[in-house]
Structure 1
């Protein structure tokens, strides 16, 4: 049995001081207050949060960071550059890149990632590369294998998009059925978007694996809504509802451009919504109605998507900041609400994680309270001032995977990234 002493810890019923977390078999055996630090325990200073969940990732997009801003452009011109990266990746080079990206997540406090995977390369070799990359980086993986059959509504796949497609829904189903989860990996499913999956196939994907997480890109761009309305007379949300794709195990990613009815449909079905604020800002997507969705009943989660930034604390803070920009009001989300979104592992199929309590995975993130950014911050508001640079230690399943920005097994993550990105 291993133990961690936390100077302060974010527990389900509030922040507590001098907390002893005992770990057995990778899970928390007990949580208790102690007056004296026991000998031989690992000490975690600052405020210790449950592990952070990155609910939406495209690992290969990390190769685009800092390379798409020279000519302004649009979401669609950015997509062309993304296709160029996708075209040259192999299973071997993807393993190298994804390992570095997941290591960057680990040092930032991410203990589990939902990988929205559509770079199939004609089989499951790329999926296996992602599985190995997550294991090497010491974080859990939910592989959300995406069905991608069309280049747009009523349009065939073209060029590099052929690498994303299985040709038919049945072939997608057969390939995904070959994937098996393990102690570090869960297998989920994804509808890439209503642009990439025809209407007649949506229900097949939605019902294929009823006990697994299902994710879908939803209404990220107005052009998607316009095309869907023109083709079907329905919004993308209404089309997904028709297909039975809106359920408590579903997470809609972005949800930027939604009607009042869309919000009601998502909330009434308890469909989750994952916001990716730094990506949505980087791509000029817009600001989605986060508060209205939460009030309607949709659980919120957070993702770094294209990895313009990998900083879970910044994503959480941006959820509130975007609401302030959108409405002119402060306090749309309390700091505790932001922590709940940041630690929402249920969105990627790990409902037992995201809490410091007996029975949960022993995933801990120690954040400094005395850095140049956080000095003077009230502990309960630390999420409003801290950044990934303030993450002092990261524990996954009772094992320390990172300290002070350095990965325990892989070392200097910046070196890994330089070597992986041309």
Structure 2
């Protein structure tokens, strides 16, 4: 057996796991999003717990010991708060604990449906299922998250962090409130995932998303830019100068036709790479790590931009650090991989080669996780 560092999955939308294999043929990210919203509209705390528990058990079996959950399903489908305003977040924390995975709950501020270009207003009001994402304004969001953070302060397996969903979803005059609300906690933000996002931001503000977030003071060494796919050279320099983390999610970015991000330029500028499974189309951190190098080869025509050691660091120690955790455990790889050491394992192994050690609840075997997961997915789709 080969012993290697446990993985950190730094960007997850756990409920997207129910979309795997069902949403195909959508012609762009935006049509895929419409179908994802249909799923988001049917979840309640109990069903979210069941789906998350099984998905986190799948992550545990794949060698993941820390997850950054980018969480924006806060309220009832009509926008009213649950009796416990953090019921959905608490369901995710409980699910991760039962699966034996540490969770950085990145509670996400989401206040608008987009830039108000067609109406001349600063932003468009939330609509449809987005009503359950919003707290009304950044101050109300911060107050709700502060209650959650106080409750879980000092717990070894839970970090309460903050997130800006995107520059589309948080108006310009409220970005700074979110960026500064929890100065000692991780801050994550989707940025420049799609060209249309950049174009709309430029038209509305005259700035790129990275520059707009810089204006708000968002870029610090505790901040993670998620995706960062379509950047200008100035954007790359901004993220590098801030020593921010940049989380690439290559399997999702490929599945959604997002594009190939400038991983080497960001690294050379001083940004720190982490990795995530995002929509959980694949839960395999070996695949995510390899894809950074493989995509770079496709884009450049040159091999060897990323070494195995650099990718291990991104997938483990740097990732745990970006979520507010110390380094993770060690995991063991099946002897059948037939490799000589950790570097070779990175290029050769898959999630299936991780020796499953079970979760604290005893629900960690692949068979049990698959059974529970299928039941939760079936329950989700029976409601749509």
The TM-score with structure 1 as length reference comes to 0.82
Q: Structure 1 or 2: larger strand share? A: 1
Counterpart of 1:364?
A: 330
* 1:240 paired to 2:213: yes
Q: Structure 1 or 2: larger helix share? A: 2
* 1:177 paired to 2:131: no
* Separation in 1, partners of 2:170, 2:229: 19
Counterpart of 1:401?
A: 359
* Separation in 1, partners of 2:169, 2:292: 28
* 1:391 paired to 2:365: no
1:367 CA drift (Å): 1.2
1:393 CA drift (Å): 3.8
Q: Which residue, 256, 263, 278 being the options, matches 1:283?
A: 256
Alignment of 1:275-314 (within 5 A): 275-314=248-287
* Separation in 2, partners of 1:308, 1:158: 26
* Separation in 1, partners of 2:295, 2:267: 14
Partner secondary structure for residue 131 of structure 1: helix
Partner secondary structure for residue 166 of structure 2: coil
* Separation in 1, partners of 2:247, 2:365: 30
Runs of 4+ in 1 over 3 A off after TM superposition: 376-379, 406-411
* Separation in 1, partners of 2:251, 2:124: 30
Instruction: Provide the aligned C-alpha RMSD in A.
Output: 1.5
* Separation in 2, partners of 1:229, 1:236: 8
Q: Which residue, 148, 173, 178 being the options, matches 1:200?
A: 173
Counterpart of 1:375?
A: 338
Aligned residues: 356
Over 3 Å counting, the alpha-carbon distance change for 1:408 and 1:285 in structure 2 is closer
Counterpart of 2:67?
A: 113
* Separation in 2, partners of 1:202, 1:381: 43
Query: Where does the alignment leave 5 or more consecutive residues of structure 1 unmatched?
Result: 1-45, 355-362, 395-399
* Separation in 2, partners of 1:306, 1:216: 15
The question of whether the paired residues in 1 share the 8 Å contact of 2:339 and 2:345 is answered with no
Q: Which residue, 361, 370, 373 being the options, matches 1:414?
A: 370
1:377 CA drift (Å): 5.7
The question of whether the paired residues in 2 share the 8 Å contact of 1:102 and 1:133 is answered with yes
Q: Which residue, 214, 223, 227 being the options, matches 2:196?
A: 223
The question of whether the paired residues in 1 share the 8 Å contact of 2:2 and 2:341 is answered with no
Counterpart of 1:137?
A: 99
Partner secondary structure for residue 263 of structure 1: helix
1:51 CA drift (Å): 1.4
Partner secondary structure for residue 41 of structure 2: helix
Over 3 Å counting, the alpha-carbon distance change for 1:119 and 1:48 in structure 2 is same
Counterpart of 1:93?
A: 47
* Separation in 1, partners of 2:86, 2:339: 49
Alignment of 1:140-151 (within 5 A): 140-151=102-113
Give per-residue Cα distances to partners, 1:356-393, cap 9 Å, x unaligned.
xxxxxxx111112x42xx33565422101100010014
Partner secondary structure for residue 231 of structure 1: helix
Give per-residue Cα distances to partners, 1:186-237, cap 9 Å, x unaligned.
1000000000000000000000000000000000000000000000000000
Partner secondary structure for residue 163 of structure 2: strand
Higher relative contact order (CA 8 A, sep 6+): 2
Give per-residue Cα distances to partners, 1:156-212, cap 9 Å, x unaligned.
100100000001111101110110322321100000000000000000000000000
* Separation in 2, partners of 1:379, 1:110: 16
Counterpart of 1:68?
A: 23
* Separation in 2, partners of 1:224, 1:132: 34
Counterpart of 1:269?
A: 242
Query: Where does the alignment leave 5 or more consecutive residues of structure 2 unmatched?
Result: 76-80, 116-122, 379-384
